[in-house]
Structure 1
Amino acid sequence: MAFGVTKQELAAWKRSVRSGNVAFLTHFWYDKRFPQYNTVTKAACSDRGRLIEWGLTYGLHETWIHEDRLYPHFDLIGADEFRILEQEGELEKLLKLRMRAGSNHERMR
């Protein structure tokens, strides 16, 4: 379940992914395997080949792709999430969520 995302943000992300763009959806998240993280970014693209190439530029392995039929994606967390979003010029949403959660983004780098 994605918390901290509006219906409009989700719809825009889906349209962008279906159009063959690499698109980012950052939201609050909890997984007991990774209790130190409270956000995740789904980096998705309907063109799997493009997604693989994009991931390789950031050191992400093809085997890490979540094989969703419509929205194949990488889940970005922690330092990789921050680094990749910063390099992609997509850091604003992550910082806003972390401020809302009272997190110090430097601690999570």
Structure 2
Amino acid sequence: MAFGIQRAELLEWKAAVRQGKVAFLTHYWLDDRFPSCKTVTKAGCADLEKLAEWGRQYGLKKEWIDLRNDYPHFDLFGETERRILQSEGLLDQLKRFNL
């Protein structure tokens, strides 16, 4: 279950993903499989090779890309989420979601 974002943020992320940019969307998230994680960041890009190459620099495997919808993405959470957001300079997301 996702919450804590505005519709405009979601639409901007979807547009950037469709344009072949690596785009990030962080939101609050509850999933019983990951009880210690309260947020997730979706790192998406419609260009699968570009997304896979981006992910490799962070130790992410191509087979971890979520292909279930029109917006291919990696789901980042926990320490990996914090590390990547910091490395990508997305400090506002770290602050906004208390990461």
TM bucket (normalised to shorter chain) is over 0.9
Give 1:97 shift: 1.9
After TM superposition, the score normalised by the length of structure 1 is 0.86
Amino acid at match of 1:34: F
For structure 1, the residue ranges without an aligned partner over 5 or more in a row are: 99-104
**Pairing 1:48–2:48 present:** yes
Larger Rg, first or second structure (1 or 2): 1
Identity between Structure 1 and Structure 2 (%): 54
- Partner residue of 2:39? 39
CA distance in 2, matches of 1:19, 1:54: 16
Aligned residues of 1:21 and 1:45 also touching (Cα < 8 A): yes
Aligned mates of 1:74, 1:91 — CA distance in 2? 19
Q: CA deviation at 1:70?
A: 1.7
Q: 1:2-61 deviations in whole A, cap 9, x for unaligned?
A: 201101111110111011000000000011111011000000000000000000010000
Structure having the higher strand fraction is 2
What is the rounded CA distance, in whole Å, between the counterparts of 2:68 and 2:47 in structure 1? 12
Q: CA-atom RMSD, angstroms?
A: 1.1
Match runs of 1:18-97 below 5 Å = 18-97=18-97
Runs of 4 or more consecutive aligned structure 1 residues displaced over 6 Å after TM superposition: none
Report if the CA contact (8 A) 2:2-2:30 is conserved: no
**CA 1:77/1:70 → structure 2, altered by over 3 Å: closer, same or farther?**
same
How high is the TM-score relative to the length of structure 2? 0.94
1:24 maps to a residue whose letter is: F
Aligned residues: 99
Between the aligned partners of 1:85 and 1:17, the Cα distance in structure 2 is: 17
8 Å CA contact retained: 2:20, 2:47: yes
Residue 94 (structure 1) shift: 3.3
CA distance in 2, matches of 1:38, 1:53: 27
